[in-house]
């Protein structure tokens, strides 16, 4: 006879509803494949009155997730509420402490409290899984944690946020200003009610934090050790220059080991238009992992949306159905490197090529002033672009673009501080990292 797996679901937004939709449609199929019966023993959300894609009367409703766990004694508690602490944290912790397996899609919570919850889960001999927290339906967590556990990974680089990728793709493909593309994304429902976490790169950084720990086998680093820059300063004209230079601008999340030091950042970056990452369009996510053994391996798929993210929740149910307890980050928490001991590179010491766009008054001497500041900060110029005056620039200011050779970011920062004090410069310069192949 098949074993019964009882699941209780808290949070009935897009993902929670999709999990229920999936189970209503495919429960027999799934049961056959995993040789276990799945039963939803409780559902929970803050507002019982909201209209939903399924009939809530088929299930036992709870207003409070801890109460649900207490009263239904599930085998698996699925947390899809998504608050960074509060009720999500309380209910997950309660479940773990009562030996209930946990599945969550909550990257903010995991990035911030994983170091507390992972060892607790290990101690209580339950699975705490979160495939759905990163890159929607791409099973990247399981790949790193299991298939690549023996690999010496040196770099992970990904497009981990569908909303910002949609905005940048839209700006690129349709030559739109940021504000217009942003409004489009909002109208299409691709942005959260509060879109700041997406736009400022925080959401990407939460995901990167989890992937970085998995790849480099260390406890989660302090969240603020990830340098984070959003996309709101990118202009249509920068996209245009990127095209001219055969680049595409993507919001990349990168974690890399260089000379035993860890580099972690989320930034808009100009990448070669022929790279697979450059082709990741719209709301898709893409991830490239480099290891000594495999060279580069690349994954692409739907990074958001109910059915894709629900697919990852289901894959975690499949995993738990096998009765195989495993540590959240693939290896025993005590065997992970201590994050305090990691040497994390100061963002000012990032060493790259950069794109610098200045708006300057087309007057004698201005170029000489700028280049002398660059030279004083040891920045050498690879390319200078001064296009014929564009019709879009009706005033006296014209854009001046520099592509630098590789240099430390503090040189860029310091020279920019000098340059903006010059008389004939308008606005804050735009600086974008360039990754050459």
Q: Give yes or no: 179 in active site.
A: no
Q: Does 264 bind its own copies (CB under 8 A)?
A: no
Task: Report d(CA 253, CA 286) in Å as an integer.
Answer: 10
Query: How many residues are recorded in the chain?
Result: 437
Helix axes 86-97, 107-123, angle to 10 degrees: 20
Among 2, 85, 279, 389, binds its own copies (CB under 8 A): 279
Among 2, 3, 4, 29, binds its own copies (CB under 8 A): 29
| Dihedral class, residue 181 (left if φ above 0, else alpha if ψ from -120 to 50, else beta) | alpha
Q: Which CB sits closer to its own copies, 125 or 324? A: 324
Q: Does 151 bind its own copies (CB under 8 A)?
A: yes
Tokens representing 102 are: 């946990």
Among 13, 119, 282, 301, binds its own copies (CB under 8 A): 301
CB of 129 to its own copies, least distance (A): 11
Q: Does 4 bind its own copies (CB under 8 A)?
A: no
Size of the site for its own copies (CB under 8 A): 54
Q: Does 24 bind its own copies (CB under 8 A)?
A: no
Among 9, 10, 15, 30, binds its own copies (CB under 8 A): 30
Q: Does 48 bind its own copies (CB under 8 A)?
A: no
Q: Does 122 bind its own copies (CB under 8 A)?
A: no
Q: Could you say which of 107, 142, 207, 219 is catalytic?
A: 207
Task: Report d(CA 367, CA 26) in Å as an integer.
Answer: 66
Of 110-118, 139-147, 225-233, 353-361, which part binds its own copies (CB under 8 A)? 139-147
Task: Report d(CA 320, CA 40) in Å as an integer.
Answer: 15
CA of 76: how far to CAs of 27, 40, 100, 299, 434, in Å? 16, 10, 6, 29, 45
Question: Residue 272 CB: number of other CB atoms within 10 A?
Answer: 15
Q: Does 293 bind its own copies (CB under 8 A)?
A: yes
Q: Does 311 bind its own copies (CB under 8 A)?
A: yes
Question: What is the dihedral sign for C-alpha 79, 84, 87, 92?
Answer: positive
Beta-carbon contacts of 356 under 8 Å, excluding residues fewer than 6 positions away, are: 401, 402, 404, 412, 416, 429, 430, 431
Binding site for its own copies (CB under 8 A): 22, 26, 29-30, 32-35, 131, 137-139, 142-143, 146-152, 217, 274, 276, 279, 291-302, 307-308, 310-312, 314-315, 317-319, 322, 324, 326, 330-332, 335
Active site amino acids: 207
């Amino acid at each position: 006879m098949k074993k019964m797996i009882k699941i209780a679901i808290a949070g009935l937004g897009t993902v929670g509803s999709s999990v229920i939709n999936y189970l209503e449609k495919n429960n027999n199929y799934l049961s056959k494949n995993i040789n276990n019966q799945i039963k939803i023993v409780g559902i929970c959300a803050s507002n019982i009155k909201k209209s939903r894609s399924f009939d809530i009367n088929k299930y036992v409703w709870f207003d409070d997730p801890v109460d649900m766990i207490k009263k239904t004694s599930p085998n698996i508690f699925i947390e899809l509420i998504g608050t960074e602490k509060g009720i999500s944290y309380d209910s997950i912790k309660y479940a773990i402490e009562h030996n209930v397996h946990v599945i969550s899609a909550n990257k903010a919570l995991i990035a911030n409290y994983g170091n507390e919850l992972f060892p607790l889960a290990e101690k209580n001999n339950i699975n705490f899984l979160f495939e759905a927290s990163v890159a929607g339906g791409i099973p990247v967590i399981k790949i790193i944690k299991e298939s690549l556990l023996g690999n010496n990974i040196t770099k992970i680089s990904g497009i981990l946020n569908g909303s910002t990728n949609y905005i940048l793709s839209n700006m690129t493909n349709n030559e739109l200003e940021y504000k217009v593309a942003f409004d489009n994304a909002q109208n299409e429902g691709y942005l959260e009610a509060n879109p700041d976490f997406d736009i400022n790169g925080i959401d990407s950084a939460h995901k990167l934090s989890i992937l970085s720990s998995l790849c480099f086998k260390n406890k989660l680093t302090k969240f603020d050790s990830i340098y984070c820059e959003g996309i709101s300063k990118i202009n249509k004209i920068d996209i245009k220059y990127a095209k001219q230079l055969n680049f595409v601008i993507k919001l990349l999340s990168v974690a890399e080991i260089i000379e035993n030091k860890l580099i972690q950042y989320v930034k808009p970056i100009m990448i070669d238009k022929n790279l697979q990452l450059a082709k990741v369009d719209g709301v898709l996510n893409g991830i490239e992992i480099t290891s000594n053994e495999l060279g580069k391996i690349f994954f692409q798929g739907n990074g958001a949306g109910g059915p894709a993210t629900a697919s990852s929740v289901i894959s975690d149910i499949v995993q738990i159905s096998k009765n195989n307890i495993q540590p959240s980050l693939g290896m025993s928490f005590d065997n992970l490197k201590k994050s305090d001991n990691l040497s994390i590179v100061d963002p000012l010491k990032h060493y790259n090529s950069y794109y610098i766009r200045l708006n300057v008054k087309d007057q004698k001497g201005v170029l000489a002033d700028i280049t002398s500041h660059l030279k004083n900060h040891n920045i050498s110029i690879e390319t200078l672009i001064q296009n014929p005056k564009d019709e879009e620039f009706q005033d006296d200011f014209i854009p001046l673009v520099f592509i630098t050779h590789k240099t430390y970011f503090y040189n860029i920062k310091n020279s920019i501080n000098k340059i903006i004090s010059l008389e004939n410069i308008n606005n804050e310069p735009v600086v974008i990292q360039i990754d050459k192949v």
